[in-house]
Chain A
Amino acid sequence: MAKATATKDSAIDGSPFISASEALIVQLLCGCSLAFSLWVANSVYSIHLLTDPSNTLLLIWIIELPIVILLYSRYRRNRKRCTYLRAVGRGLLALPAGAAINFLGAVALGAPVTIQYLPKTVNWSLMMSVFTTVPASCVLGSSWADWRRIFAQTKPNGSIEYLICLPAHGAVIGGWFGAWPMPLDWERPWQEWPICVSYGAITGYLVAMVASLGFALAHNRSCLPKRD
């Protein structure tokens, strides 16, 4: 009980406000950087997911990572006690940790574990980590209660938490559905691991980003009178 109230307090306390336009900009930048990384891969290195999934995924997460960290660290919790740099630091720390969790999940669900697939799986988990855990750790820090509330109970509180929670879930669920066509005997190159899963995850991420924008907007509307 005590824990629950504490959670609530911290949520009200530390959750920074993010206006609709800011949320839009954050999401736009994230989306654009994703598109930009794909463009760079295609035009500069002339690779894409089909031809060289490993390096394309590497490119995606390397380009996406600083943008996500820099953007979300601005909305860190407990601004007084936590500097911007510290938020960036824990975002960087969350990258391998989240990748490990995603890696385990992928392997449990059936990702191949042979050596030739290892770089692909690692890069894929790093990308998923950028989508899921990195923004959350920038904003939430190490607050276990908040993590649990957002990821285990799906009860985001405050517009910034919508921006964290929904895209993360979208990416995971999109990736899960993306694995469905893999066993089919169409013999298309994109049925290889992790291509279609990555497509699914990116699609889910983008769709959930739009949805989260809507939720954040609605949340802001309902909260504004209270703040006044």
Chain B
Amino acid sequence: MARKMEPRRRSPSGKWEYIWPMWLTLLLHVVAIFLFTRGFLLTRTELPYYSSCSDISQSPCFSSSDNLNSTTNSSDGSCWTKPAINRLVIIVLDALRFDFVAPSSFFPESKPWMDKLQVLRMVASRNGSSARIFKAFADPPTTSLQRLKGLTTGGLPTFVDVGNSFGAPAIVEDNLIHQLVQNGKKVLMMGDDTWTQLFPHHFERSYPYPSFNVKDLDTVDNGCIDHLIPSLHEENWDVLISHFLGVDHAGHIFGVDSNPMIEKLQQYNNILERVIEELESQSGPGGLHENTMLIVMGDHGQTLNGDHGGGGSEEVETAVFAMNFKKPPSSIPPEFDSSACRLDMDGNNVCISSMQQLDFAATVSALIGIPFPYGSIGRINPELYALGARRWDLGAPQEPSESDVWMQNYANVLCVNSWQVKRYIDVYSASSAVGFSSDDLSRIASTYAQAESHWLHSTKKLLSGSKNGSDTILPTLQKQIDAYFNFLATVAELARLKWTEFDLKLMISGILIMLLSIIFQILSMLRGNKQLGIFMPLSGASGIFSISTLAYVLLAIRACSFLSNSYILEEGKVANFLLATSGIVMLRYAVRKEKLLPESFGFLLLCAFCQFSIEVGLTKQAATSAFMKEHTSWILNITSGFPVWEFVAEVAPMLALILLAFLLYKATNNSSFKWAWKYTIRSTILSYMLILLHWISDGNRIGFALMPESIGRNYVPRIIYAISLGQLLLLSFGALFEDNSLDCKKNLITKTVAILSAWSSTVILLSGKQGPMIACASTIGGYCILRMDNTGERTTERPSSSSAVDPFRVMQWSLFAVCLFFCSGHWCAFDGLRYGAAFVGFEEFVLIRQAILLTIDTFGFSIILPVLGLPFLVATMKQANQTKHFIYTQLSQAYVMYGLSTAITTTFAILCVTVQRRHLMVWGLFAPKFVFDVVGLLLTDIFTCWASLYYFDQVKDDQ
């Protein structure tokens, strides 16, 4: 048995003596983050009102029944506007980039993924066809759910709904689909099951397919294809929605510049060709599709990397292709023509107009002739509307020209549109607690009053009165339309401002609580010093000055770097720069002390290695193709080309894993381990072997059929999870039963090794092939940092102060952890998540399970393992005082210090999103960074608290 601990003088009451600061910190952080998030992630009140046909009588405009030209009778069941089309086919291609549709001649250089949807371009450029390509601008956040919501409600969904994207709750606001159903239109839906979640009771028929398995490129699309063409022959629908997901998934998994993406686009091209043929063949008089419009559109774009969600131009720019089979429209008045034309490579003239996605709901409602959704703030797009507005001018021979009729009708439709938007704004301001400011309201009111008075005094008279010559009508109409445009533009602009408006009070109170928690952490750190019998370290003293101060300086530099978007973008390199700086300082000390030179030199080499892998990660972040996100590792990225390298890349991780297993075996051979612990730890070696087996059976290279595919794919990972879980349970209970006789320090080391090994197998498995390499790197780096203690100057110069935990080492530990986050191929953006990791061992999607796996993959090396490994720092300190109380005080101090460094950087990230909340990149860069940091902070706190329960046991030596 080891040395028996002597009872100490004032003994603490129990473990809570040491660990309460961590729990209080967790509590403070939770409150602060909750408050801040409430203020920062925007919310918009949804109004429970619905538009209905009879509302039109309140407007000053002509309803379609008191027809301004008295050419058609009002028996067609329309209410707000006269229907221009009878049936509508909407084909949504998820994540359709603008350059997928537009001819490559519109771009400076031709890329492999361009010109693949040939048919749209051909049809649009065909002479006399009534088809048009639009460049459509989506409003951020550009996630599918928000966009579908925005497209159907005509409003601006806010970022806070992103959280609901996994649950996809039904839309309760008034929307296009609701209006369709309300007005007796039958809606047929196929494809992405998000639609059925959004509109659970609206569809006449639906063929939903699960959308969340990003690895699956074909299920949804094939389902759509199976039902799309047959449905075109059916009569029993009015609106058909078909939502294809393949391009989105191909982007997420492979990136834009990849073969699967191009294959997907070619497949779509064929489908669209067939759809257009089919529709055209039945578009003759009396045909099924005599009055059908086809709309092919994207809900949002994507970056070259397959990322979307933010407000970057690649993400918001998508395309809309609209085609009417009726007959070619005459040209619309040139004032409304926003198109830019260019010759494509076949020499055809292709024109591309532009529109806002915000306008989609209102325009489609107007085309079909149903009331606009209550909350729509869009404007009826003249060009898209003109494509359908062909119906009533046939029987109007007395009219001077088609474009005059069109203008009259359009002015009236705009009148309805403006009235509806004004009504929404008024009701919203009256009913919502956080409505528009009175300044904005009066501005809206004055522009509307202007337009309305013009309408009442001149235009309405003109239109309803006698047929004056077109020379007086046209300028008046033009003026009227301009006035409405002005009003609608004002509203859209204010609404965009409004729904990116933050609640500063909540945000500031959140920040204040964060600051409070930092102060509290600093105080409890100092309190630890006091308990250890150290007075405030005089930072002027030479030894402490140079090394401890440097720790704080590095922390400060890192924290301040978050204020600039460029540094956030390159955060990995910044962290590595600082880590290497600390390594150089370490080397300097090593040279000074003439010991541990190899360790500090090795640490620098390790920094170079980290730098290299971070750089590879960054290039992947910028733009890469053919990069398997599911297989994650930068190792694969290097290997393109030489077969030798590929072989090395295949074998090196396995060797690294075997090395790790060997290390673990050596570590447990130590006699100080009790058998129970020993065997718990050794079962990790079994897990490692299983991981090897998993890879061998998975890889195609050495892929001899060891076992049936499915067993290797799913059961082996599950066994590994089970072993990890069992180990964790054993360890947690083991901690309860353990006797106090062992040397406290050794005990601590045993526990740390045990818990790290229990976690490591899962983390390595999820990280893929790079896992063992990163694990080796972190072992080496951790070892170097641990050894570093002895190079510190203080141990020799002032032995009394050596009992305090060295902030420099804790700082290095946490910086190294941050570097590992970036080394393992992550970055702070939602496309930095490796969704593939969530499906290791499982095929189907279960929210909580997959979220846990994704979290372990993302933060495994950067939070879970470093936090749990922190006791090493204390256990390796050389000191005379070995009492439990002493060691526990140090340990708690180390945890507080580690938590402090995380809290400070997170606080700066929060401050930075507050300062930059109007920044262009706020949704693209700062908000993801904020989310990652906040999740990281909470996880750090949670694991600290868990570790505190595990490591600290009752100090029973107070008798």
Contacts and interface: CB of A to CB of B under 8 A. Distances in A.
Nearest to A107: B608
Interface in B519-578: 564-567, 569-570, 573-574, 576-577
A183 B569 CA distance: 8
B234 interface: no
Contacts of B570: 183
Interface string A111-151: 01100000000000000000000000000000000001001
Nearest to B578: A109
B430 interface: no
B592 A148 contact: yes
A109 B605 CA distance: 10
Interface residues of B, number: 26
B591 A183 contact: no
B208 interface: no
Interface in B588-647: 588-589, 591-592, 594, 604-605, 607-608, 611-612, 615
Nearest to B557: A180
B604 A104 contact: yes
A132 to B, nearest CB: 13
A109 B567 CA distance: 15
A5 interface: no
Contact of B591 (A112, A151, A184, A185): A151
B564 A184 contact: yes
Given A105-B584, A152-B591, A184 B608 contact: no
Given A108-B611, A110-B580, A110-B611, A183 B573 contact: yes
Interface residues of A, number: 17
A176 interface: yes
A179 interface: yes
A152 B546 CA distance: 12
B583 interface: yes
B591 A108 contact: no
B574 A108 contact: no
Nearest to B588: A152
A179 B570 CA distance: 13
A21 interface: no
The 8 closest A-B pairs by CB, nearest first: A152-B591, A108-B607, A183-B570, A108-B580, A152-B592, A185-B566, A108-B608, A184-B566
A179 B577 contact: yes
Contact of A176 (B564, B573, B581, B589): B581
B576 A110 contact: yes
A148 B581 CA distance: 19
Contact of A109 (B564, B566, B577): B577
Interface string A85-112: 0000000000000000000110111101
A110 B591 contact: no
Contacts of A179: 577
Contacts of A107: 608, 611
Nearest to B607: A108
B573 A108 contact: no
Contacts of B604: 104-105, 108
Given A105-B604, A107-B608, A183-B574, A112 B592 contact: no
B425 to A, nearest CB: 38
Contacts of B592: 148, 152-153
Interface string A178-190: 0100011100000
Contact of B608 (A104, A151, A176): A104
B615 A183 contact: no
Interface string A135-177: 0000000000000100111000000000000000000000010
Contacts of A153: 592
A197 B612 CA distance: 19
A121 to B, nearest CB: 12
B583 A108 contact: yes
21 contacts: A104-B605, A105-B604, A107-B608, A108-B604, A108-B607, A108-B611, A109-B580, A109-B584, A110-B577, A148-B594, A151-B588, A151-B591, A152-B592, A153-B592, A179-B577, A183-B567, A183-B574, A184-B564, A184-B567, A185-B565, A185-B569
Contacts of B588: 151-152
A152 B577 CA distance: 20
Given A107-B608, A108-B608, A183-B569, A113 B615 contact: yes
Highest count of chain B CB atoms <10 Å: which of A112, A151, A153, A183: A183
B574 A148 contact: no
Contacts of B580: 105, 108-110
A184 B604 CA distance: 25
A151 B588 CA distance: 8
B581 A109 contact: yes
A94 B211 CA distance: 63
Nearest to B574: A183
Nearest to B921: A185
Contacts of B605: 104, 108
Contacts of A185: 565-566, 569
B474 to A, nearest CB: 48
Contacts of A151: 588, 591
Contact of B612 (A113, A148, A152, A184): A113
Contacts of A152: 588-589, 591-592
Nearest to A185: B566
A99 to B, nearest CB: 16
A107 B611 CA distance: 8
Nearest to B591: A152
B573 A110 contact: yes
B615 A112 contact: yes
A152 to B, nearest CB: 4
A148 B566 contact: no
A105 B577 CA distance: 10
A148 B611 CA distance: 28
B576 A183 contact: no
Contacts of A112: 615
Contacts of A176: 581
Contacts of A113: 611-612, 615
A113 B565 CA distance: 24
A153 B592 CA distance: 6
B620 to A, nearest CB: 15
A166 B638 CA distance: 42
Given A108-B580, A183-B567, A185-B566, A148 B615 contact: no
B592 to A, nearest CB: 4
A107 B594 CA distance: 24
B566 A183 contact: yes
Given A109-B607, A176-B581, 8 more contacts: A105-B604, A109-B576, A110-B577, A112-B615, A148-B592, A151-B591, A152-B592, A179-B577
B37 to A, nearest CB: 28
B790 to A, nearest CB: 16
Contacts of B615: 112-113
Highest count of chain A CB atoms <10 Å: which of B577, B589, B615: B577
Nearest to A113: B612
A139 B567 CA distance: 41
B793 to A, nearest CB: 11
B765 to A, nearest CB: 30
A107 B610 CA distance: 10
Contacts of B589: 152
A3 to B, nearest CB: 9
Nearest to A183: B570
Nearest to A172: B584
A153 B546 CA distance: 11
Interface in A74-90: none
Contacts of B583: 108
A151 B591 CA distance: 9
Nearest to A179: B577
Nearest to B570: A183
Nearest to B606: A108
A218 to B, nearest CB: 21
B400 to A, nearest CB: 55
A40 to B, nearest CB: 33
A221 B611 CA distance: 47
A152 B574 CA distance: 25
A185 B565 CA distance: 8
